[in-house]
Amino acid sequence: MTQATRTGPVPVPGLAPRLFVMLGAPGAGKGTQAERLATGLGLLHVSTGDLFRTALREGSALGDEVRRYVEKGQLVPDALTVRVLTERLGQADAQAGAILDGFPRTRAQAVALDALLSVRSGRVAAALYIEVPSAELVRRLSSRRVCADPRQHVYNLVSRPPRVAGTCDIDGTTLEQRPDDRPDTIRARLERQLPPMYEVIDYYADAGVLHAVHGERDVNEITDELMRLALRAERRD
C-alpha cells in the first residue's frame, strides 16, 4: 500500500514504545507520582493538563482553543487533546518513553492512544490507578495552591504547606489558587470527569494491564508500590 492510499493512524516519528498511563481523579496525587516514576524509570513525564496550562499562559492559538474548557473544569474535546498528545510524543525527548499523566481521560482517548502506539508495535505497559474516595479528593483539591512562576510549583495547605504562608519556597513568587481548584468548579469537575475515567479504568482492566493502588497513605509508600508494579509489567512485556 502506498503512503497516498494508507488508511488509519499515520506513523509518528520516534513515538516511544515504553509507555505507562497514570490514572486517578483530580487530586489523587497522580502528578506527583508520575513525576517520581518518570525519574525512577528514566522516562518523560507528560501531563496534558500542564501542556494546556502552558498554552494558556503563553496565549498561543492552542491556549485560545482550550481556555473555555479548562477554566470551567470541562474536558477538552478528544480530537484536540489527542492531537496535542501526539505532537508531544513525537518530540525528540519522548523517544525513550513516557509516563502519561491526565491522559487518557476518556475511552475514545484510550482507543486513540492504542492506535498511535500500534503503528510502532508499542503498547501501554501498565495503567496505574491511584484510588482515593471523592470526599477526600474535594478536601485535597480546595487546599491546593500553585506559584506564579511558569514552572507552577505545587503546594497543599493541608499536606504540603509552604515555609512562609502565601509564598513559594523555591522562587519566592506568590501562591495562588488555580481557577479550576475552587470548590464549585471542583465538584463540577469531579461530576463530569469521574464517569469517563471509570470507562478508561474498565478499558485497561479488559486489556489486562490495570493495577490499582490505595492512595490514602504515605506518598513514598505509594511511589515504591508503583515502581514495583511498573518494573514487573515491563519484565512481562
Residues of the shown chain interacting with ligand AMP in the complex, contacts defined by CB under 6 A:
26, 48-49, 52, 69-70, 73-76, 81, 102-103, 105, 109, 180, 189
Q: Tell me how far CA of residue 25 lies from CA of 34, 41, 138, 146, 155, in angstroms.
A: 13, 23, 10, 18, 18
- The nearer residue to ligand AMP, 81 or 223, going by C-beta atoms, is 81
Active-site residue set: 30, 105, 144, 178, 189
Helix (H) or strand (E) holding 224: helix 219-236
Distance in Å, CB of 2 to ligand AMP, minimum = 33
CB-CB neighbours of 42 under 10 Å: 9
Distance in Å, CB of 11 to ligand AMP, minimum = 22
Query: Using CA atoms, how far apart are residues 168 and 54, in angstroms rounded to an integer?
Result: 19
- The nearer residue to ligand AMP, 122 or 196, going by C-beta atoms, is 196
Cis peptide before 13 (omega within 30 of 0): no
- By Cβ distance, which residue is nearest to ligand AMP? 49
Distance in Å, CB of 206 to ligand AMP, minimum = 20
CB-CB neighbours of 187 under 10 Å: 15
- The nearer residue to ligand AMP, 194 or 234, going by C-beta atoms, is 194
